[in-house]
Amino acid sequence: MSLAGQFGYGRSRAPPFDSIDFASFSNWHRTSAYELTSSLPSFYNYAFDGSPSTISDGGFNMWNEGNVISLGTTTVPYGTIGSNYFVSEPNVWPQVALAFTTGAAVLEWKNGGNIGMAGSPFGSNANFSGTYTTPNQGRGGSYWVNQKYGLTNPTICYLWFTITQPTINTVATGSNDSRSTADPPLYSYTQSVSVTGSKVILGQMLLSTRNSTSFPNGDLISQVAVEGFLSNYVRNADIRLV
């Protein structure tokens, strides 16, 4: 794929860039992103069946209370293109939210539910972080993962990531994991990642696998698999600074 027009390459306008062409990115994500999930064995096509702002049940009881996209204190409906953010459409996989800002930012998905949700005392947790690069392209960034697997429910994997370039200096500065592990009620928790930089691109994805309808249902998505998928996604994404 040519880099012309992506991250400003080949464009007549010089830095500083102050926005992203989210319409182009939305079109790419809708038509091309799903084929990249083939690198994740048994990727699960969780279903949207909630309000315009909530995945209330991903199927096979992934969660029961909802998965809500919020940027700061603002709840954002699925399928929204804003001036400085994008949230992908319902039933388009993988679900992703991407935000651009010229200062410190927090991108947060609010999550809740009972057994099967990340943070419950059942199953196994895999929480890890690291960095990734896009070979021969110069993009990259950092990522954070909170994952629940080994349940009768599909794997639930929340992936936060930053994207950097010479004009984009996003730095992840910490995570906030306020998930409840009490049983009951298991209904309230939030997770977020904070980033800083004079220009920031921060995203979050929801990944899932489902290997059967019996126990255990979802397998661990390994750190190697996460890094490989994220590198491939960002390398191919049509992200144009304007």
Report the number of distinct structural domains present in the chain: 1
What are phi and psi for residue 225, nearest 5 degrees? -65, -40
Domain membership of residue 104 (yes or no) is yes
Residues 6+ apart with CB under 8 A from 130: 142, 143, 223, 227
Domain membership of residue 84 (yes or no) is yes
Amino acid found at 199: K
Amino acid found at 217: N
Which comes out higher in pLDDT, residue 5 or 104? 104
Q: How many CB atoms lie within 10 A of CB 101?
A: 20
Domain membership of residue 6 (yes or no) is no
Residues 6+ apart with CB under 8 A from 112: 63, 65, 66, 187, 188, 189
Bridge partners for 166 per DSSP: none
Domain membership of residue 190 (yes or no) is yes
Q: Which domain holds residue 163?
A: 15-236
**pLDDT single digits (tens) 74-116:** 888 999 999 889 999 988 999 999 999 887 776 777 766 554 5
Domain membership of residue 242 (yes or no) is no
Domain membership of residue 2 (yes or no) is no
**pLDDT single digits (tens) 179-188:** 655 544 444 5
**pLDDT single digits (tens) 109-166:** 776 655 455 556 667 888 899 999 998 777 899 999 988 888 777 888 889 999 988 7
